[in-house]
Amino acid sequence: MNFGKSGNDAVDEYAKSSPISAVEDAIEKKLADIATVLCPAGTRKSRLYEEILSMFERCLFKIALKRSNNVKSAAATYLGINRNTFQKKMVKLGINCEKSKVKSNTKRHGG
């Protein structure tokens, strides 16, 4: 059976129509804007790669913590990484899951 397309063309067409491809396209457009802000044209040396990776990791970790009610092992599982790796990266990224918890400042008064 010949569908009029080579195998590679069919794979390329599927990739372009998949949800992952749509997300990649959206991210690429946003990253182009972010790159323009962080590293204007003519800049010789930048840390753009490291800065953007850190931003993405920080956002992913915050999302994972939020979806897991700040349970680090569950957040690590959600991201598909080891709990110890998750903890080390949290420290590296400056994320403290305690700060997102609501603390009670009410004092009990005895009667």
Q: Where are the domains of the chain?
A: 8-40, 47-98
What is the residue-averaged pLDDT of the chain?
81
Query: What is the average per-residue pLDDT within 14-39?
Result: 87
Higher pLDDT: 5 or 8? It is: 8
Higher pLDDT: 100 or 11? It is: 11
Query: Any idea which residue has 């372009």 for tokens?
Result: 16
Please determine, for residue 27, whether its predicted confidence score (pLDDT) is greater than 70. yes
Higher pLDDT: 91 or 15? It is: 91
Structure token digits, residue 96:
């403290």
Domain 47-98, CATH class in plain words: mainly alpha
The whole-number pLDDT of residue 42 equals 76
pLDDT per residue as tens digits for the range 40-79: 877 777 889 999 999 999 999 999 999 999 999 999 999 9
**H or E element in which residue 62 lies:** helix 48-67
